[in-house]
Amino acid sequence: MFKPLTILVLLIILSIASFLFALSVGSLPLSYMDILEVLKGGGSDITQTVILELRLPRAYVAFLTGGLLSLAGMLMQVLLRNPLADPYILGVSGGASVGAMLAISAGLVSSLISVSAFIGALISILLVFGLAHGRGSWNPSRLLLTGVVIAAGWGAIINFILSVSPDQSLKGMLFWLMGDLSYVQADHLSDPSMPVILIAGLLFSLMLARSLNILSHGEMQASVLGISLKPIRLSLFLLASVLTATAVTKAGSIGFVGLIVPHMIRLLMSSDHRWLAPASVLAGGSLLLLSDTIARTIIAPQQLPTGVITAFIGVPLFLYLLNRGYRQQELS
Amino acid sequence: MSLLSTSNLNIRIGNTPVCHKLNITCEAGEVWGILGRNGKGKTTLLHTLAGLRPSVSGEILIRENNILELSRKKIARQLGVLLQHHEDSFPATVLETVITGRHPHLNNWQWESPSDWECAHQALSTVQLSHLSERPINQLSGGERQRVAIATLITQNPDIMLLDEPNSHLDLKYQIQLLNQLCQQTRAQGKTIIMTLHDINLAARYCDKLILLPGDGETLTGTSKELLNESNLHKLYDHPISRIESDGYPVFITK
């Protein structure tokens, strides 16, 4: 365990470094001086285009998506009190995927694919909420089972659409399902929805952070210590769902980040959600940004789906931290 | 003014009555015990008194205020519960767990002040766990975990303490030390304790008053001296029990 503040500062430095790395590598390698020049408003036309219209928008969306997913994963894990929970466990991404795939098979442009995905996510959220709430009690296991079954239902619909789709739309669909940032455009930079939702979500999580710490000790104990269960369950569910829906509609269902990043931070620094929430956002953002940079450069000019690389980097990193944690426990 | 009282409280588990028209008044400085067999509703009664589950009818008053009209936070500033089961989904340290007791006394954005941490450290030293304050909670033994829960309750510092089997998992030494400490403080500072117990001798030693739950919905309430006799206990536990004297104290043993 390290001091939380030290880790947080290191994560801020890592985030900035990830951005610099993402802006500098690609088919046209750029030096940090070039990047600085462009950010100050100068530079040649070609470097301006490469940075401001190609690399920066994509890096920006990648970082925000990673932050959204990690925060959503952390909230889902507390809501369901289940370490295996991830942002997609309750079917939000399934609904979004069905929406996106219907839009892709109808041949719609990418902005309409996002709209369609968001509508799919919303339908899924409302469906799970309505069914799990039903009449009366709303406990974590009922919510979890409802969500998992709805997600399975979406899975069946996705497979159905995949099997009846013509070959030319299949690749687009598969990339979307694995998580893909290749269609990000310059106008994403001026779209405030992602940063606003991420920052609002982070602030709201920080406001609830002490309650989340207590909720990890069970709902009964939370109630004893003065937390009203109904409002906090509802806000966690809605908040995590909205964060997930925002990420999924912009970047497809990128797996793994939302599940693993909160656990990595718990192993590294603290389970106190006042540290865990901001650290997860920074670590998730950096992990996804680095993964995406590698995904678009490693076998260039061909691009890989981002979701493939997140797991390639994340799996060994997580296993290392987990083993290190256990070794420390055995020594102490 | 009584700290906690009930009027005509009626509780059921499904169709089984736990208590019917229960009237108790817990005054400052009193220690109450709830005795009964397994599954007769000791924990249910305790949870109902804490407002954690609804009653069928009747009222529960905390300092003359109906518990239904108080927010969970307002309740938590005055009433704390030692639960029987402890859940730890994610790794937290002992100290991080104990400090959660300050939650009801803090606002949404507030961080714990040095005096809050002082409370937590004090509580840990009361339960003799200061040396484990940085230990992850899931590495503790059952008895140590129980002492962490007691320390959390002490940190919460409520005037009304509801204890569900406070001595479970505890060594004899800690059973006596911790009950001594809690009951002394309760009497000295004008607080009140209501606890469920399995051990009649601990009830005789610590409780001023008792609620006996034979399980048919009828309850017996009164002072320990009046209620702890062989015939009541035989009926309560469905097993003959004899009372002997040792050092001037009553001792109850099974026949």
Which one-letter amino acid corresponds to residue A8? L
Contact A213 B92 (CB under 8 A): yes
pLDDT at B215: 82
Contact A227 B72 (CB under 8 A): yes
Geometric angle at alpha carbon A318, from A315 and A322, rounded to 5° = 135
Give the distance from residue A82's alpha carbon to the nearest chain B alpha carbon, in angstroms.
7
Nearest of B71, B81, B67 to residue A224 by alpha carbon: B81
Q: Which of B49, B62, B79, B89 should one mutate to test binding to chain A, selecting the residue with the greatest count of A CBs within 10 A?
A: B89
User: HSE-up of A72 (CA within 13 Å, CB side)?
Assistant: 33
Instruction: Give pLDDT, residue A331.
Output: 55
Asked, as a colleague might, if the bond just before A301 is cis with ω within 30 of 0, I would say yes
Indicate the number of domains in chain A. 1
Q: What are the backbone dihedrals phi and psi of residue B81, each rounded to the nearest 5 degrees, phi first?
A: -130, 135
Q: Does B158 touch chain A (CB under 8 A)?
A: no
Residue for token pair 């997930």: A244
CATH number at residue A167: 1.10.3470.10
* pLDDT bucket at B217, cuts 50 / 70 / 90: confident
Could you tell me which CATH number the domain at B4-89+159-254 has? 3.40.50.300
| Nearest residue, CB atoms, A266 vs list B74, B90, B109 | B90
Kindly determine whether residue B103 and residue A211, on different chains, have CB atoms separated by under 8 Å. Answer: yes
Q: Cβ distance A251 to A306 under 8 Å?
A: yes
The predicted model scores a pTM of 0.92
Nearest Cα of chain A lies from the Cα of B122 at a distance, in angstroms, of 19
Distance CA(B44)–CA(A220), nearest Å, equals 13
Residues of A in contact with B81 (CB under 8 A): 224
**What's the token pair of residue A293?**
């940079």
Sequence letter at residue B46: L
Kindly list the domain boundaries of chain B, sorted by start residue.
4-89+159-254
Q: Nearest by CB to A223, from B52, B77, B96: name it.
A: B52
SS3 B163: strand
pLDDT digits (tens, 9 = 90+) for B52-72: 999 999 999 999 999 999 999
Residue type (1 letter), B200:
I
pLDDT in tens, B2-42: 999 999 999 999 888 999 999 999 999 999 999 999 989 99
pLDDT, residue A13, reads 97
Best of B90, B97, B148, B164 to mutate (most A CBs within 10 Å, chain A): B90
Rounded Cα distance between A211 and B240, Å, is: 48
End-to-end CA distance of chain A: 12
pLDDT at A136: 62
Backbone torsions φ then ψ of B215, nearest 5 degrees:
110, 0
The range of the structural domain enclosing residue A248 comes to 4-331
- Measured from the Cβ of residue B14, the count of other Cβ atoms closer than 10 Å reads 5
* Chain A contact for B97 (CB, 8 A cutoff): yes
pLDDT value for A265: 92
- Shortest CA distance to B98 belongs to which of B33, B46, B161, B144? B144
Would you state the structure tokens that stand for residue B160, as one six-digit string? 């009304």
3-state secondary structure of A16: helix
* Contact status of B103 with chain A (Cβ, < 8 Å): yes
* 8 A C-beta contact, residue A128 and residue A90: yes
- What is the count of residue pairs from A and B with beta carbons less than 8 Å apart? 87
The lowest-confidence range among A231-235, B93-97, B148-152, B215-219 is B215-219
Closest-CA distance of chain A to residue B76, Å: 5
Cβ neighbours of A73 in B, within 8 Å = none
Residue of B nearest to A268 (CA): B91
Q: Are A127 and A117 in contact (CB under 8 A)?
A: no
> What average pLDDT does the segment B148-173 reach?
95
Q: Kindly give the confidence (pLDDT) of every residue in chain A, 332 residues in length, as a single tens digit, with 9 standing for 90 and above.
A: 568 899 999 999 999 999 999 999 988 888 888 888 888 888 788 888 888 888 999 999 999 999 999 999 999 999 999 888 899 999 999 999 999 999 988 888 878 888 999 999 999 999 998 888 766 667 788 899 999 999 999 999 999 999 999 888 888 888 888 888 877 777 778 788 899 999 999 999 999 999 999 999 999 999 999 999 989 999 999 999 999 999 988 888 888 899 999 999 998 888 899 999 999 999 999 999 999 999 989 887 888 888 888 888 888 888 888 887 666 666 55
Is A83 close to B89, i.e. CB distance below 8 A? Answer: yes
The contact set of A with B (CB < 8 A) is 77-78, 81-83, 206-208, 210-211, 213-214, 216-218, 220-221, 223-228, 266, 270-272, 274, 329, 332
Check residue A299 and give its pLDDT: 84
Average pLDDT of chain B to the nearest whole number: 94
Q: Nearest CA of chain A to the CA of B140: how many Å?
A: 12
More confident residue, B251 or A318: B251
Burial of A261: CB neighbours in 10 Å, binned 0-12, 13-18, 19+? buried
Q: Does B131 touch chain A (CB under 8 A)?
A: no
